[in-house]
Structures are given as C-alpha cells and as structure tokens.
Structure 1
C-alpha cells in the first residue's frame, strides 16, 4: 500500500472459522479465472480475525494450481500482525498446513494493494459488505474489480457461521455481475429459501414480492416440496430433482455437474434487482 494512505473500507466483525468458506473455495478452484491465469495471484480480502481462511484457500487452490499465491488483506493492523504470527507457526511446521504454503498478509482494503502492482486472477471478498448500505455496493465492486487481471474474477458474498449456507456473486473486471450462486448443506435442509438470510448485500433487501430473487427462492422452495417423493433416496437426489424441475420450468439454472454439491447457479439477469 502507498505510504501515508489508509486502506479503503470499514473494519468488519472479523468473524471467521475453520472450513467456513469451503463451498466458495471449491467453486473458485474449478473456475477458468484461476485455472487459466498467467499469474495465479488470489486475494483474500477481509480475511478477518484469523489467518485460517486464507491458509485454507491456498491449500484448496494448490490442488489444481500448485503455483497459486494467496495474499490476505485486512484494514485492521492488529489482524494483519496476528495473521503473520500464525503464518510463522506454519513456516515452523507446527500446524496442519504445509510449511511452504504460498501465503502472505498485508494491510489493505477495497483498493487491493499488491506487490509490484500485480493484478489478481481472483479476489475473494466474503462477508465484507454486509455492514454497508446497498448503494455503497457498486462502488466497492468497482474499486476491487479495477485491480483484476484482464480475465480475472471478483467473488463477493456471504455465508453463515458454519459455512452451511453460502451465496456469492461472480463479478468481472468491468464490475458487472455475471452470476449468482447459492450453495447449501443438503443434509438436514428444510427449505432452500434459508439462503435468503445470507444473500449478498446487493440482493438481501430485494427478497420481497415483485423482485426476481424472491421469485427464484419461492420457485425453488416449491420444487423442493414437490421433490419430497424422492427424499427417500437422499437429499442430493431430492435437490437434483428440484433443480431439474426448476430448469424445466424456465429458470436458466447452470452447471448441472455442480448440483450434487448443493449448488445452484443462475445468470445475474435472472435475479437482478428490478
């Protein structure tokens, strides 16, 4: 970061936890923005009170890109210092992470400062914008997206404390949202519309009659209820049946190969605020 300048953004609650972001991590791991990147730099923006999510991100992405580098950014200097202390333990080989894990931590916010002004292939900004007002979202997207590589991707969203309910928006370098993904733990799932509680800031106040995202969640609940007849075969089969019916009903549901993971992805146009 440029000396004398403060990071752009507000300090978050910093809540984090082991495996909390596993669903979005595995989605990023298969995305072309990472797999085809000339420079596989990934930024974990607003990593929180612990280094764990950045370390987990690096471990998961290294399975498909062994040369991946993860840079954790926080606007709270104490959190950066704590993360660096935790990283020193990793380097000493006293944790479950590889001692040579390609992770570093620095002070930064929506301006996304990187060493030598490198352009990230992916920026993951989870649970960062929840405390902001909806009109502030676009400006944050624009700041972050402006730093991306030409084919880079910003992933911005929200999840619950255990990572069982997770939603995120994929955003291009032009700051235009491309898709919405909902990822749920299917075991014990009562109704898919539980995702409404964890929608990204751009959508969470739009879950009202007359808005597309409300229509999607209502239709998903309806198909989930209708698929109860296959529940005996397991929640995955029920989910796949519900999404199949949703698509047959005209919803542009994508990535069928990902359905078994409890994911639902639709183009942004299907849920964009009216």
Structure 2
C-alpha cells in the first residue's frame, strides 16, 4: 500500500490458539523485553483473530506486570474482529484476564504508535511468506527502524499448529544477529522438518552450497546418531544432538534450559545466504 495508508501486503490471516507459543516464550525470555524501560510488544500482522495477541500478553505479564501488547493489522475488518474479541475479554467471558494490557489498531510496516513510543519487541510471524526474497532486507530495515534502542524485530514462520517454527532476531540496524529453530520434540522424526517453515530469507536456500542446508544436514545426522538415547526420551536425544553440533564447532548459543524446549539458536552468520 502507498504512503497514505498502512504499508505492506495482506497476509492469509491464518491463526489459531497456541500457534505462536514457542515464539511467545522466546520473547518473554529475551533481554530486549526483560530490560526494556517500556515493555511494549507489537504483534504485527496478527491475522484473522486477536488470539495470538491475547496469548502473548498473558504470557508476558507473568514476567513483567507492566507488559503491553498492541496488535496491528492492515485489514480494518480484522482489527474490528479483534476489538470485538477484546470486548469479550474485558467482560470476563474468556479464559484471559479481563484487565489484560492489549489493544488493536490498523497498521503495517510503518508500525504507527502515538507520541514518541517505540516498542521493545516487534513480532512479525508468518508475515513475509508471500513476499519475494528480495523484499526481505528492506522490510527488516523498515520495521526494525521503529524499535527502541536495544529492541528486537522477531521475524519468522511456523506451521499451522505451532509445533515447527523458526525465526530471526533483528536489532534496530536491520541486520539479523540470531537464527532460531523451535520444535516439538515428541514424535519428531527429523529436525529438518523445519525446512518448510524457514523464514523467507532462508526458505529457498535449503540447497547444497548454502549454510542453512549444511546446518540442517548436520542436525539430522546428529539426531540419527543420538537415536539410542530415545530410550530416555526425546529431550535427552535433542540435548545430545545439540551438544554434538557444538562440539563440532558450530557456534550454538544458549544453555541447556533453552535446548530442553526444543530450541537451537546460532548466529545469523552461520546460516546467512551465501550470496
């Protein structure tokens, strides 16, 4: 859309209960959120229902009582639907706290906010999937420029029920710093299932000669090697898999407490497109 209206392309609007739970807990644990002077989080492109914004706000308030979530959408009909849902929340007719600090507005990549407010986090999950790969860097730069100092744009994708997800962390400068995959470990056949849910910047790069392909090949290999540990459960198998990658020199970040959640985080340079 042009400068007269919200900037961006409409999304499919697909959403659902608990679809973004893995991403929610990543945001809640992030330094950008925990240390923010104004813990404002934007749910950009929340979709056809406001449920992801409600869930995010409910999870964030467990970490900080002053957390606030604003859901932004291009489509005024989606905003109206979310506001109707919010009325139900305020009336106490939902599982969410009636005083949940959530609101909704129309907006896109320009991230419109009153006054001089800048968010600590902008979450844009499943927003860039219909864009061309060549559009991604400009979108990152534009959205990340709206962040508070020390803030993060978290952009990525997930499957319809939220069991497979990946995202990148992008600071205000617009250049990614981290890449994370997050998987439901129970019944996981191979970690490379995430290939179908990579962020737009990577989804077409899962081919020989690309760094993200090398990472997924190594991840599957070590998952297979750790198969005997399945006797002790998928978490132990995953811990062994991640530890093996780290022992091989792959710069895995985080601690076992994060790995246990089915996460693997590496610097963006580990997976950045070769050209």
User: Quick one: distance in 1 between partners of 2:266 and 2:138?
Assistant: 23
Q: Which residue in the other structure is 2:171 paired with?
A: 172
Query: What does 1:241-256 correspond to in 2, within 5 Å?
Result: 241-256=240-255
**5+ residue gaps, structure 2:** none
Question: How many residues are treated as equivalent by the alignment?
Answer: 271
DSSP 3-state at the match of 1:123: strand
Q: Which residue in the other structure is 2:262 paired with?
A: 262
What TM-score does the superposition give when structure 2 sets the normalisation length? 0.98
What TM-score does the superposition give when structure 1 sets the normalisation length? 0.98
User: Quick one: distance in 1 between partners of 2:96 and 2:32?
Assistant: 25
RMSD: 0.7
User: Quick one: distance in 2 between partners of 1:34 and 1:115?
Assistant: 20
C-alpha distance after superposition, 1:78-129 (max 9, x if no partner) = 0000000100110111111011000000000000001223100000000000
Which aligned runs of 4 or more in structure 1 are off by greater than 3 angstroms? Answer: none
Query: What is the deviation of 1:229?
Result: 1.3
DSSP 3-state at the match of 2:83: helix
Q: Which residue in the other structure is 1:199 paired with?
A: 198
User: Is the counterpart of residue 92 in structure 1 residue 64 in structure 2?
Assistant: no
Q: Which residue in the other structure is 1:152 paired with?
A: 151
User: Quick one: distance in 2 between partners of 1:161 and 1:98?
Assistant: 25
User: Quick one: distance in 1 between partners of 2:116 and 2:131?
Assistant: 27
Query: What does 1:128-143 correspond to in 2, within 5 Å?
Result: 128-143=127-142
Query: What is the deviation of 1:143?
Result: 0.9
**5+ residue gaps, structure 1:** none
Q: Which residue in the other structure is 1:234 paired with?
A: 233
User: Quick one: distance in 1 between partners of 2:211 and 2:249?
Assistant: 13
DSSP 3-state at the match of 1:154: strand
